[in-house]
Amino acid sequence: MKSTSSPQTFLSQTRSSKTLLSKTLWPKTVQPRRLAIRRVACLLLCLTSGLALIQCESRSVRPNILLILADDLGYNDLGLSNDKFVTPNLTALAASGVRFTRHYTDAVCSTTRAGLLTGIDPAHLGFRPLRQGISSDVETMPKVLSRAGYSTYHIGKWHVGNATAGLSPTEAGFDDWYGYLTQWDLGGKKKWPTYRDPWLQSSDTKPSKVPGHLTDLVTDKTLEVIDELSAADEPWFINLWYYAPHGPLQPAPRFAEKYPDTGEGKYYATVEQLDQSIGRVVDHLRERGIADDTLIVFLSDNGGTNTYLDNNHPYVGHKGQFLEGGVRTPMIWRWPGQLEGGRLVDEVVSYLDLLPTLAAVSGAPPTENAIAGKNIWSAVQKGGPFPARTLFWESITGDSNAYSVLDRDGRFRLVSRDGVNRLFDVQDRNTANRNVSEAHPDVMSRLQNEYEAWHASGHEVPVDVTRVNESGATLVEGHAVQRTPGYAGFSFAIGVTPVVRGKDGIRSGVVVDDPPYWRLALTARGALQLDMLGERLNGPVLIAEKCSAIVVTSYFARSRRYPQNETGQIDMYVDGLRVATSTAAPPLQAPAQFDRLTRVGFDRQSAEPGSFEFTSPRFFNDYFSTSRAGKPKADDIELLSREVCSVPAAG
């Protein structure tokens, strides 16, 4: 790419061009209506994909899609397998559809939701399991379906990270939404979850207290939205994410009175209410005459908690664990006339498969994401063959590292936590819950190596880097949420060479400028100075005419419920040695700004960069700890430091 001598000139020219292009193509006075756009998109899709035009107009070919997600519903929590549960509607759904016995999700709410929407392993989006949300430039299920002419609506819980208004379902691509960003919003100012008179909001309203029971309110809204969207001449996608049976267990009185007033009794009642609510939705589709034109997908986001009963029998483990019980959940698909009713699928499938599969069903072009999910529609229709692949799970916090690998045959599961490894043969009921690592050391070694390669392939953020001068100054954009410090893990690496400029010597200047989050600079005496979210770290003087590998790494633990317990750890390394560290408690919370550029080598005020040369900047979505047991090899500070100065500047 051709460089320009002035970063400010380059930035100004780039923004002017983008503004002119936007005004030329879409002047505000001639903005087309959304429905017209979808019809044109559908026509183009048919013409370019070779589909007959009639298929774009036929609901039997392009179904409505209703995706129902339960929260913390365990593998053993349906009447299909446990007669203590009263779930006749889900039993009927399975009898007229396909039930999956080896469906895998992630181990907690937020990660599963991120992966479900994108088809990407959530750890590769920085969800391990904490993150603030998904960057707006990442493709999502509603964006893909919208391109195929679908109206899209999200209802219920969101919790795709610790979402703020700037990371709502709207930013993820939904046309409209109704519900709550996280369960902590349900109680209003109390910041505590509740089913009773919850605080809810929509895409164009602020949260307010709504009389009634949460499960009933969400179901009522779903019926209303079905009526609204079905009146239009286009298919729809409704993303219905219930909170049930997540705690606190507060079933409506009409269900609670059927069971003992115990934790176990309340759980049974909460699940029965969920089942009846799903039955109301299915009945409404039938009453409108569109049940046969609607693909229903039902699943749970992770294993049950095992708080009051053995939710995940016959498997050990629970929500938050990478054992079978924590990640193996119910899933049912129903589409009359397209899927054979009453069939069981015992092959391994993943929640990551939903995006590419629903894209194929809708006729949408494949997503541009580098996804882990597979299109399994043909296999589900025909009974196989299903794609063989290795599945991965990962959780990394400031001081702990856990992961799991399910091998491509679906037989062996490796579970590792802080360097302690166990192996399970999950195809054999007799050994599914017993450590068999001593009998299969070769399998242990192979799966460990596969994990290392998988982690290394996804922990670097794929940013767009544009070089703006010969010294290597750059503009960085893309994946803004992942390249933002202040929430979970964040790391940055760059090689900096101070250059003597004649009699002026080495001028002070900016290394990185990314307000309001962080700034890295060299002072007048040539020393490093890092400012990040209210914390300042002072580093050494860099050696002239020598490339120094600089690594900044941080981990911030946030809590919506207990902000006073928040902590932050920031470390700065030069050539593999830690030169400064800071612990902030509680750390500063910067305003969410995810439409910004990161400047390397200059800032918004300086017309000229300092006297440095730079290698290409690198961003990572995790924290590089030197003391964490069992950490991946790719997170080694010394290894990264050796690599940094060998990487040339962006071209």
| pLDDT of residue 626 exceeding 90 | no
More confident residue, 39 or 488: 488
| 464-644 has the same fold as 62-388 | no
Angle at CA 486, nearest 5°, toward 481 and 487?
65
Q: At residue 340, what is the residue type? A: E
Do residues 216 and 252 touch, judged by C-beta distance below 8 A? yes
- How much is the average pLDDT of 325-350? 97
Bridge-based pairing state of the strands 412-417 and 401-406 = antiparallel
Statement: residue 13 has pLDDT above 80: no
Confidence of residue 642 (pLDDT cuts 50, 70, 90): very high
Work out whether strand 401-406 and strand 391-396 pair parallel, antiparallel, or are unpaired: antiparallel
Most confident of 164-173, 359-368, 418-427, 519-528: 418-427
Residue 422's pLDDT band, with cuts at 50, 70 and 90, is very high
Percent of the chain with pLDDT over 90: 74
Is the pLDDT assigned to residue 287 strictly greater than 80? yes
Percent of the chain with pLDDT over 70: 88
If one counts every other C-beta atom within 10 angstroms of the C-beta of residue 234, the result is 20
Q: How confident is the model at residue 281 (pLDDT cuts 50, 70, 90)?
A: very high
**The pLDDT of residue 14:** 45
Ordered DSSP codes for 261-322 = SSHHHHHHHHHHHHHHHHHHHHHHHHHTT-GGGEEEEEEESS----SSS-TTTTS---TTSS
User: Phi and psi at residue 546, in whole multiples of 5°?
Assistant: -130, 135
592: pLDDT strictly greater than 90? no
Containing 209, the helix (H) or strand (E) segment is strand 208-209
- Tokens matching residue 115: 């992966």
Span 299-311, pLDDT tens digits: 999 999 999 999 9
Q: Is the per-residue pLDDT at 649 higher than 80?
A: no
CB proximity list for 638: less than 8 A, separation 6 or greater: 576
Question: Rounded to whole angstroms, how far apart are CA atoms 503 and 273?
Answer: 79
Residue 430 has pLDDT above 50, yes or no: yes
pLDDT of amino acid 44: 52
Q: What is the mean pLDDT of residues 327-332?
A: 98
Amino acid, res. 248: P
Instruction: Inform me whether the pLDDT recorded for 9 exceeds 80.
Output: no
pLDDT at 503: 61
Tell me the fold of 62-388.
Alkaline Phosphatase, subunit A (3.40.720)
Quick one: pLDDT band at residue 651, thresholds 50, 70, 90?
low
Q: State the Cα–Cα distance between residues 610 and 365, nearest whole angstrom.
A: 46
Span 534-558, pLDDT tens digits: 999 999 999 988 999 999 999 999 8
- Confidence category of residue 25, pLDDT binned at 50, 70, 90: very low
Span 464-644 CATH architecture = Sandwich (2.60)
Confidence of residue 124 (pLDDT cuts 50, 70, 90): very high
Mean pLDDT of the chain: 89
Mean local confidence (pLDDT), 240-260: 98
What local confidence, expressed as pLDDT, does residue 502 receive? 61
Per-residue pLDDT at 579 exceeds 80: yes
Over range 506-522, report the average pLDDT: 90
- Dihedral, CA of residue 628, residue 630, residue 635 and residue 641, to nearest 10: 70
What are 150-200's pLDDT values in tens digits?
999 999 999 998 777 789 999 999 999 999 999 999 999 888 999 999 999
pLDDT, tens digit, 9 for 90 and up, residues 27-84: 222 223 344 444 445 545 544 444 433 334 444 479 999 999 999 999 999 999 999 9
Residue 31's pLDDT is 29
pLDDT digits (tens, 9 = 90+) for 439-464: 999 999 999 999 999 999 999 999 99
- Quick one: pLDDT at residue 215? 98
Closest by CA to 362, choosing from 51, 627, 82, is 51
Q: Output the pLDDT for position 420.
A: 95
pLDDT of residue 504: 60
Q: Are 486 and 557 in contact (CB under 8 A)?
A: no
Contacts of 249 (CB under 8 A, 6+ apart): 263, 266, 267, 269, 270
**Given this model, what pLDDT does residue 38 score?**
47
Domain ranges of the chain: 62-388, 393-458, 464-644
Position 500 pLDDT exceeds 90: no
- Which H/E stretch holds residue 453? helix 441-458
The CATH topology of domain 393-458 is: Arylsulfatase, C-terminal domain (3.30.1120)
The b/e string for 318-339 (b: 16+ C-beta within 10 A; e otherwise) is bbebbbbbbbbbbbbbbbeebb
Q: Residue 397: CB partners within 8 Å, gap ≥ 6?
A: 128, 130, 488, 555, 557
Q: Is the pLDDT of residue 216 over 60?
A: yes
